[in-house]
């Protein structure tokens, strides 16, 4: 799948942990970004992409219903009841991020796969989620499209505008050159005559 999406061999080897060099083992992350972007349906070579659903954050009340035990562990950590470690802090941050992603993706997945059993869960029947679902659908429908698509749409107008500006500049330059040429041609004989007269007087 990664190969079909455009990821190169090095990225696929890193994803499958088939590289055993010191750089892969000690310095590089185990997440091959290009391969992951390709598997997610984006261009592997482009580091940026557009996710309209990510522009709308779910309300805090709805977020607290997903993995509610996270808030308890965060409270214990903040109160000093837990040993502070990098692993604990990273795990809690990841889970807090994933519950937001779960809600954002759920709206799109529910529309694409409406018969999945997961939608019978009480979370997805609450008034908070149903309201968020309506807002998310409006946000996706009204969201701005990716930059490359907008650029393709404005290229004809942009080309026409550039052509008009170039024509105006060329006309202005031609007019100035013609004016300078006329001034030089009208003054050159006079200057030449004056110069010759001065040379004769000097002799």
- Which has the higher per-residue pLDDT, 146 or 58? 58
Place of tokens 């079909």: 4
- Each domain of the chain, given as residue ranges in start order, spans 1-49, 50-146
pLDDT number for residue 140: 84
pLDDT number for residue 28: 55
Average pLDDT of the chain?
Answer: 75
What does the pLDDT look like over 90-114, one tens digit per residue? 999 999 999 999 999 999 899 989 9
SS3 126: coil
Q: What is the DSSP letter of 27?
A: I
pLDDT number for residue 189: 54
- Beta carbons within 8 Å of 57's beta carbon, 6+ residues apart: 100
pLDDT exceeds 50 at position 196: no
- Contact predicate 104/54, CB 8 Å: yes
Task: Give the number of C-alpha atoms closer than 13 A to the C-alpha of residue 62, restricted to the C-beta side.
Answer: 20
**The CA-based dihedral angle spanning residues 81, 85, 91, 96, taken in that order and rounded to the nearest 10 degrees:** 50
Write the DSSP assignment of 90-106 as a string of letters.
HHHHHHHHHHHHHHHHH
Write the DSSP assignment of 33-78 as a string of letters.
HHHHHHHTTS-TT-S----GGGGSPPPHHHHTTSSTHHHHHHHHHH
What does the pLDDT look like over 60-94, one tens digit per residue? 999 999 999 999 999 998 888 888 888 989 999 99
- CA–CA distance, 192 with 189 (Å, rounded to integer): 5
CB atoms within 10 A of CB 181: 10
């Amino acid at each position: 799948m990664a190969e079909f999406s455009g990821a190169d061999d090095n990225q696929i080897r890193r994803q499958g942990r088939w590289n055993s060099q010191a750089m892969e083992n000690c310095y590089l992350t185990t997440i091959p970004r290009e391969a992951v972007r390709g598997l997610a349906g984006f261009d592997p070579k482009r580091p940026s992409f557009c996710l309209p659903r990510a522009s709308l954050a779910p309300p805090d009340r709805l977020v607290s219903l997903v993995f509610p035990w996270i808030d308890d562990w965060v409270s214990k950590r903040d109160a000093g009841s837990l040993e502070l470690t990098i692993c604990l802090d990273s795990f809690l941050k990841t889970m807090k991020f994933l519950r937001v992603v779960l809600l954002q993706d759920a709206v799109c997945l529910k529309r694409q796969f409406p018969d999945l059993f997961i939608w019978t869960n009480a979370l997805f029947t609450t008034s908070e989620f149903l309201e968020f679902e309506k807002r998310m659908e409006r946000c996706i429908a009204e969201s701005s499209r990716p930059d490359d698509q907008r650029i393709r749409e404005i290229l004809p107008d942009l080309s026409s505008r550039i052509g008009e500006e170039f024509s105006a500049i060329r006309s202005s330059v031609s007019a100035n050159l013609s004016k300078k040429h006329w001034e030089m041609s009208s003054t050159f004989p006079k200057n030449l005559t004056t110069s010759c007269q001065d040379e004769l007087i000097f002799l």
